[in-house]
Amino acid sequence: MNTRFGFEQLVSLLRLSENDARIRNFFGHEMSSIDRDEYYGTLEFKPEGVDVVFKEAPWVIPPEKISDPRELWLSSFHLYREGLDGFAGYSGKLPNGVALGDSETELLRKMGEPISKGGGYTDPVDKLPIPRWFCFALGEAILHFQLDPMGRIDMATLQASKIKLT
């Protein structure tokens, strides 16, 4: 299925300012609908299985590139499996043939060794389950996969790699 949210297109938009022409052209009038809260903002595209997270500059770009600390920069895309949180399934192609709904075994076979992993337990403070997850380096980005209780991928997050705050 064709989607405007093609994976390579998404990678190219990471770390761009809300004021960058490429962001404005890609999202168009939808930019006026950013739901701003504290230091971040979001856009939801439930029919496409995508939500977009923008964060203020200090969380996304190096300090030497900041001119306005309140300016929002594209930080990540959440790509949903059908039905998760009321989203349709993301229809773009993920790297290495990974598909939303793949098992943990399939994910590791296709992606190799993760750079980090965690979850799979109940938070001792709020008693909520923390989903099992795996992170993989993807050039200048990170691709994070979250698994459901049955061990199947229910969300992928493409995100700008972490910025070390000084």
**CA 86 vs CA 51, 82, 121: distances in Å:** 12, 8, 24
Neighbours of 39 (CB within 10 A): 14
Indicate the number of domains in the chain: 1
> Is 76 contained in some domain?
yes
pLDDT bucket at 158, cuts 50 / 70 / 90: very high
pLDDT bucket at 2, cuts 50 / 70 / 90: low
> Is 153 contained in some domain?
yes
- Residue 121 in tokens: 């337990």
> Is 55 contained in some domain?
yes
> Is 102 contained in some domain?
yes
SS3 57: helix
pLDDT bucket at 69, cuts 50 / 70 / 90: confident
> Is 165 contained in some domain?
no
> Is 1 contained in some domain?
no
In this prediction, residue 142 carries a pLDDT of 95
Q: Average pLDDT in the 90-104 region?
A: 97
What pLDDT, in 10s, does the model give residues 99-143? Answer: 999 999 999 999 999 999 999 898 889 888 899 999 999 988 999
Residues in the chain: 166
Q: What residue type is 128 in one-letter code?
A: L
> Is 99 contained in some domain?
yes
Closest CA to 26 of 41, 43, 46, 2: 43
Structural domain that includes position 24: 7-160
> Is 73 contained in some domain?
yes
